[in-house]
């Protein structure tokens, strides 16, 4: 199993697309959590200021790092999961991989492990860049460096990993279901960035059953889990409709369901 994981890691770290996804996530976090809010704070940019100075200081760097995970960085995690599994269909290399002795479940477990490690690296990198950016802001504003507690940092990392791993596992499942890359990425992004928002903004206020349904959907629960940690209005683009404990239970259930269903389908279906 360890050799399968090492082989999979070697394969993925050599793909420019993976580093591009990481770079986009970092750029996105720095831009919307620090650069634009700081421009608004200093008066460089006009319009309402969405984040005050306190939200950009070291004490809030965890919130800044994980605030975009339920939606924007989560979409990148979904693409990552699709690429790890779905590319084998596009390259027509599943037969080559499985002819090297690993069983389908072993090969699938190795890929799922790499997705778990990859999203952990993503969250860690975002937290590192957010911490560095907060130090710069504190220096520019002449504020002291007051860091959050180690418990808060670990809790934020754990919640961030759980949210991104759920989306990564959904990407893995979609890659297996549609046996490719383009269609699962397209459908996954449409669901995350369009359908969820339409349900929340248009259908939920009008239909009670849709409002209740939101409490069981992955997006609102991802937003609710992060909102329970960062406070305020919660993460952008996702309406937190349940409490943090409820959200964590639902996300774990989705993560297990996506992971098990993907392995079951890979085991049952023919490999072309």
pTM over 0.85: yes
Q: What is the pLDDT of residue 81?
A: 93
Tokens linked to 83? 């690429």
What is the end-to-end Cα distance of the chain in Å, rounded? 24
- Provide mean pLDDT across the span 226-236: 73
Q: For the ranges 4-8, 127-131, 152-156, 263-267, which has the lowest average pLDDT?
A: 4-8
pLDDT tens-digit profile of 85-122? 988 888 888 878 777 777 888 889 999 999 999 999 99
Question: What phi and psi values does residue 204 have, to the nearest 5 degrees?
Answer: -60, -45
Q: How many CB atoms lie within 10 A of CB 159?
A: 25
Nearest Cα residue to 86 out of 215, 186, 172, 205: 172
């Amino acid at each position: 199993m360890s050799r399968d994981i090492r082989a999979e890691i070697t394969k993925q770290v050599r793909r420019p697309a993976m580093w591009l996804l990481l770079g986009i996530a970092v750029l996105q976090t720095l831009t919307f959590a620090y650069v634009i809010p700081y421009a608004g704070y200093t008066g460089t940019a006009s319009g309402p200021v969405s984040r005050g100075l306190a939200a950009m200081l070291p004490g809030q760097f965890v919130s800044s790092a994980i605030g975009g995970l339920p939606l924007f960085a989560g979409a990148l995690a979904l693409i990552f999961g699709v690429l790890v599994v779905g590319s084998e269909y596009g390259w027509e290399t599943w037969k080559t991989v499985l002819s090297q002795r690993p069983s389908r479940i072993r090969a699938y477990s190795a890929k799922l492990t790499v997705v778990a490690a990859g999203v952990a690296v993503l969250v860690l990198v975002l937290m590192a860049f957010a911490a560095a950016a907060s130090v710069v802001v504190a220096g520019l504003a002449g504020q002291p460096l007051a860091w959050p507690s180690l418990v808060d940092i670990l809790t934020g990392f754990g919640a961030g990993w759980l949210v991104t791993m759920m989306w990564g596992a959904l990407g893995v499942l979609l890659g297996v279901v549609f046996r490719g890359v383009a269609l699962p990425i397209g459908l996954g992004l449409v669901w995350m960035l369009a359908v969820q928002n339409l349900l929340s903004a248009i259908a939920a206020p009008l239909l009670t059953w849709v409002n209740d349904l939101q409490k069981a959907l992955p997006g609102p629960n991802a937003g609710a889990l992060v909102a329970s940690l960062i406070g305020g209005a919660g993460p952008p683009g996702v309406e937190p409709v349940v409490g943090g404990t409820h959200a964590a239970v639902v996300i774990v259930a989705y993560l297990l369901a996506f992971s098990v269903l993907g392995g079951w389908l890979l085991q049952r279906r023919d490999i072309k």
